[in-house]
Structure 1
């Protein structure tokens, strides 16, 4: 479809709601495999009781994600976005399949060899996440903010869906022989199928939507060199003529300039996730004590976090309660650190009801603040700059996650190994 411009506004923007649905599914696929691995921690804790899998797997995942994204963000202006995102989703699919194959090949037995294999797959998930999360948020940053919101909601939904599936499979196989493993195998199979679906959605559906074609053409007219393959996939082979007539449009701020103009947003992303990951999932999986829910307790906590994280990502759709003030965001994010002593004393003295409430609040604020920051930051920039800023913010998000999972080990002080 030819894209027409009238005073900088699109003539036709069909496909907005279809694009929102696809963005939601692609966001879901970005973390579905990883959340599947996190959600079956009860299986891995039983399989590898001496290796702290809930902490180690996250700690292995993050350096690969952070290191890969740092390289990709630095070279963002030269990278083919289509190839980057497709490569990431394909790695997700292959790695999910490998988790299933490894479990079947070892007949569900533990041991250091199997654990190393699981850790290697966890690292592959990190590489895939860096390709997809940074690439998609950068790509969506020069489109409508609601697309970013849908993608981020999909990220949270992956956690809620995997938690719901885990509770269902645990209930279904709880009394059967080797029930934990049967539930895990079902998880791996569903995860691999869903990642294959995401490859097909991004490769053949998303680039053909008229509204997506329009915004990618607009980004190309502003000097973006990362969208050409996606434009071709959508049936557009020539950039708009305005580029040749006004070459000054090709000028853009450097990554360094973008970073210093948005350093508060970058710190926001880092601080949101350094707190969240210092508590979730390691502390919730291993350090909350024994309660009447027994083996279900950690699963319920993780499920509550994921559900409220998802709810929190939809709250900013209500404009009246969306926080957009830069100072207000920083104050709210710093205030969340009061949750650290709250979790400590609740784990030590409180009952499971208080812990469930705190975990729900952790998820709610995580989702809400993430969407507020990522939908507010890209405003006022050209397409290539918005893409670069999206990558920078996701880099700080992953940096916060890495710092958080490292700090999570501090909860073990005084408890022995």
Structure 2
């Protein structure tokens, strides 16, 4: 969605790409850490009251999403008036505090389960959703008027968080598998690393990213086009600028409004909704609980989640090869709709297939999710000014999170007939 690359004299491009990758990772690292230790939570919360299972892989995701979608809807509506710097810093700081709270909760309860602990973890899950709406929506909106490679890197980092957490989980499970209280030790190590990483993201966004020359260039350009959301970022970079009242371009943006922006890009918004609705109706709940028992034993769900995350990461980098990138709006929509065939494919594979077929199918779910998401977000129409691009980025992320919310709700349908 960004403009063409600035003149070669603008420095800091590759540093910005690395920082964007780390910040993208930070948007989902703590949340993926929680998803990846599902084997620990299934052990910790086996059952309560009249319900046979807590279903942590489903419940925690379902708690997360209303906070993410509801908050982002409000932030998107008021996007033009919100201080982007404060918004994003709040998001990363809340990620840090929330993942620290999970660690403290486990230490305070000495790894005991129970309804009280489960409610505490659900509250933290809601905090993750609130943080996601501030950080991810704000970052994609912010990067939408910059170099398209920044969005590519940010999305790649978000996918890498899943692959990294899966790899770390497999390593910690192997290290602690034969030790007493091994699951808990692995989880504590996991969240300790997540806490440190989220703190790094706060530092990177607060002190490194805004001072990069190329970032200053794009933000100054956005300010000249009438953006009122970048003034704090420019001040943090040491650039004193007075934002003039609405320019002709900003007036045009205000006449169009959110509704017209959405109308002009409704296919992209719907594509993102459908991509993530389908994916989250299967991952992680179905993969964690409904794939049967195989020779991999307790490793089976972890391997499936790891394969999804690795191939999702690979899929997000395929569009870098220009000949392999889908840019036709009709072809993207056709590919997105065709993924509905994965639902019966997973159903019959879980019922009749071997673990090899399930691993292959899960890999395809991951690669198609990552590939199509990046194609949509980097192919959205150009030609808008900075304020419009920022607003469009927020709109698209809102539909992305809406799709995730729909998906985690639909995921419960797999439990029909199982006495849940």
User: Shorter-normalised TM-score: what interval?
Assistant: over 0.9
Q: 1:17 aligns with which of 14, 26, 42?
A: 14
- Whether 2:136 is the aligned partner of 1:104: answer no
Mapped partners of 1:38, 1:59: distance in 2: 12
Deviation at 1:250, TM superposition (A): 2.5
**Which residues in structure 2 correspond to 1:133-152 (within 5 Å)?**
133-152=136-155
Answer whether contact 2:225 2:247 (CA < 8 A) is retained: no
Distance change in 2, residues 1:239/1:372 (3 Å)? farther
Aligned to 1:360: 363
1:166-187: CA deviation from partner (whole Å, max 9, x where unpaired): 0000000000000000000001
Aligned to 1:250: 250
Answer whether contact 2:61 2:408 (CA < 8 A) is retained: yes
Comparing 261-270 and 373-382, the one that deviates more: 373-382
Q: Structure 2: state its 5+ residue gaps.
A: 48-53
Mapped partners of 2:271, 2:249: distance in 1: 30
Distance change in 2, residues 1:414/1:9 (3 Å)? closer
Q: Structure 1: state its 5+ residue gaps.
A: 1-7
Runs of 4+ in 1 over 2 A off after TM superposition: 8-12
1:224-267: CA deviation from partner (whole Å, max 9, x where unpaired): 10000001111111158xx67x9313321311110000000000
- Aligned residue pairs: how many? 408
- Whether 2:59 is the aligned partner of 1:62: answer no
Q: 3-state SS of the aligned residue for 1:254?
A: helix
Aligned to 2:413: 410
Aligned to 1:28: 25
Mapped partners of 1:206, 1:255: distance in 2: 28
Mapped partners of 1:122, 1:156: distance in 2: 19
Aligned to 2:38: 41
1:253-290: CA deviation from partner (whole Å, max 9, x where unpaired): 31111000000000000000000000000000000000
Deviation at 1:12, TM superposition (A): 2.6
Aligned to 1:297: 300
Mapped partners of 1:209, 1:12: distance in 2: 13
Mapped partners of 2:305, 2:419: distance in 1: 24
Answer whether contact 2:16 2:209 (CA < 8 A) is retained: yes
Q: 2:275 aligns with which of 272, 279, 286?
A: 272
Q: 3-state SS of the aligned residue for 1:159?
A: helix
RMSD value, Cα = 1.4
1:59-100: CA deviation from partner (whole Å, max 9, x where unpaired): 000000000000000000000000000000000000010000
1:102-137: CA deviation from partner (whole Å, max 9, x where unpaired): 000000000000000000000000000000110000
Mapped partners of 2:288, 2:130: distance in 1: 25
- Whether 2:366 is the aligned partner of 1:369: answer no
Mapped partners of 1:247, 1:234: distance in 2: 23
Mapped partners of 1:141, 1:328: distance in 2: 23
Aligned to 2:212: 209
Q: 1:316 aligns with which of 302, 313, 319?
A: 319
1:173-208: CA deviation from partner (whole Å, max 9, x where unpaired): 000000000000001100000000000000000000
Mapped partners of 2:96, 2:42: distance in 1: 24
Aligned to 2:134: 131
- Whether 2:259 is the aligned partner of 1:262: answer no
Comparing 247-256 and 257-266, the one that deviates more: 247-256
Mapped partners of 2:357, 2:328: distance in 1: 31
Mapped partners of 1:339, 1:189: distance in 2: 36
Deviation at 1:43, TM superposition (A): 0.2
